[in-house]
Amino acid sequence: MEDNVVTLNQVQDIINNLKLFSDLTVLNTCLLSGCGSITNRNKEILEKIYNHSEDKIDDIFDNIVPIRCVYKKAKPVFAPPQDDYLNYGIYMWDINSFNKIITVEGQCYAILSMLSLANNLKETRPYLSNTLVNVATQFYDFLCSHMRNEEGLFIDVKDKSKSYEDKPDIKPNKTNIKIQNQLLVFTSLLYLKQIYNNVFNQRYANENETERFNFELSSIYEYITSIKDELIFLSSRGIAQCINLLYSCTEIDDDESRKLFYKECITLLCDELTNRIKATGEVEKGENNFSPVSFYTNIRCSNALMEGYLATGIDKFLDFSTKIYKYVLAYYNPNYSLFIQNYENKVSMSIRDIAETVKLLLLRYKIFSDEASLNTLVDFYNSAVNNSGIVQNINLATKDLESYFQNLNINDKPPIFLKSIRINFKKENTIKASKYFNTTYALYGAYVFLNTNL
């Protein structure tokens, strides 16, 4: 019993640390980096928010770089001020490293992570919370204005403008339309509407916002209901993502008829996913594609089936989730404290994979009271996060945001989630972190961690 208390305390500390790293990832990416299409500050709203609170972090507010979208990739190092962005904050990143593709996933997980952080900060730092809501709204406006095709479906785009002084030159990127991206936008808007219903946030909202959100929710919902039967033809990864999003919708939405639809879809998709699980517990890629999914997609599928159970109460989904979990657990290597399937070449694990693994181990404990999963989580965290370098400059991370920004030097690098870690078994067998930052991966990880509880 005493050992369990110690482990629970360790896990709570881990969750607190992951939330802290997520806080700093979101703030550094979405408010300060400039890694997106820069727009004019809405000074009236921001100053109203800023002046409302006695608790101020001048270094955040004074150095906000107002962007309305987030680019796909960047090198997260501070850049010395240049003539063309001299008036922006000192924490702006290296502009020459930006990959200017803007993905629906990156945009939505930026919105979802900002709103999650805003929700967590609404009592302790109300002005910063409302600044995040304001920026998230600009991100959503950009989605609606620049990231739709002729049919009104949301698509990836690229910013082809040469400098911040040019008018936006947004062009469609050559990618397939993804059904799950439409659901992802719907979930983001649902969360945005919920935040705006908060009495405190209504103070800063345009009086037409809620009416507009309701109209757009109805429009996207109508599309999703029309293609319900097509969802089962998605890849297993796509199905798992849809289950996760639909489960989030059941938690956020207060419309009972829509909740019933979400649960019907979850049941349909979980049933399809169970049909793709081999006797070994490994998941197949698609309805008629019997190739195995990537290793960490198995983990995502196991999580999706547990969320399917939580939404519907159907025990079968738990049984198949456990079948996948046993397959995954067979590849846990206690020497590395990682799940490793292949020792022949390089093994790579993204921050998104790490987030899914943490989520898996915590869900196993919550649903099954599986104490062994907590012990695995402690060791996994120390290896994959604490000692791996995936949090850049982890030593700079602190809960005292005032102290963090007062002591941060532009010669430092912001402590944020990098894209991935890897082990090269043909060389030194040590864990190394990537140097680049992928917004979709990092902000997805932040969104998962910000909503993680024991």
Residue 214's contacts (CB-CB under 8 Å, 6 or more residues apart) are 193
Residue 240's contacts (CB-CB under 8 Å, 6 or more residues apart) are 273, 297, 300, 301, 303, 304
Apex 156 CA angle, 30 and 214, nearest 5: 75
Mode of pairing for the β-strands spanning 170-172 and 338-339:
unpaired
Domain ranges of the chain: 2-450
Mean pLDDT, to the nearest integer, of 272-296? Answer: 95
- 149, pLDDT greater than 60: yes
For 5-19, write each residue's pLDDT tens digit.
899 999 999 999 999
In three state form, how does the secondary structure of the chain look? CHHHHHHHHHHHHHHHHHHHHHHHHHHHHHHHCCCCCECCCCHHHHHHHHHHCCCCCHHHHCCCCCECCCCCEECCCECCCCHHHCCCCCCCECHHHCECEECHHHHHHHHHHHHHHHHHHCCCCHHHHHHHHHHHHHHHHHHHHHCECCCCCECCEEECCCCCCCCCCEEECCCCCCHHHHHHHHHHHHHHHHHHCCHHHHCCCCCCHHHHHHHHHHHHHHHHHHCHHHHHHCCHHHHHHHHHHHHHHHHHCCCHHHHHHHHHHHHHHHHHHHCCECCCCCEECCCCCCCECCHHHHHHHHHHHHHHHHHHCCHHHHHHHHHHHHHHHCCEECCCCEECCCCCCEEEEEHHHHHHHHHHHHHHHHHHCCHHHHHHHHHHHHHHHHCCCCECCHHHCCCCHHHHHHHCCCCCCCCCECCEEEEECCCCCCEEECCCEEHHHHHHHHHHHHCCCC
- 205, pLDDT greater than 60: no
For 390-437, write each residue's pLDDT tens digit.
999 999 999 888 888 878 887 889 999 999 999 988 777 889 999 999
The reply to whether CATH 1.50.10.10 applies to domain 2-450 is: yes
- 187, pLDDT greater than 90: yes
Q: With bands split at pLDDT 50, 70 and 90, how would you rate the model's confidence at 158?
A: very high
Of all residues in the chain, what percent carry a pLDDT higher than 90? 70
| Residue 288: predicted pLDDT | 85
438: which 2 tokens?
A: 């992928």
- 339, pLDDT greater than 70: yes
N-to-C CA span, the chain: 17
Mean pLDDT, to the nearest integer, of 339-363? Answer: 92
Mean pLDDT, to the nearest integer, of 296-320? Answer: 98
- Computed over every residue of the chain, the mean pLDDT equals 90
| Residue 111: predicted pLDDT | 98
Give the span between the Cα atoms of 156 and 177, in whole angstroms. 9
Q: With bands split at pLDDT 50, 70 and 90, how would you rate the model's confidence at 49?
A: low
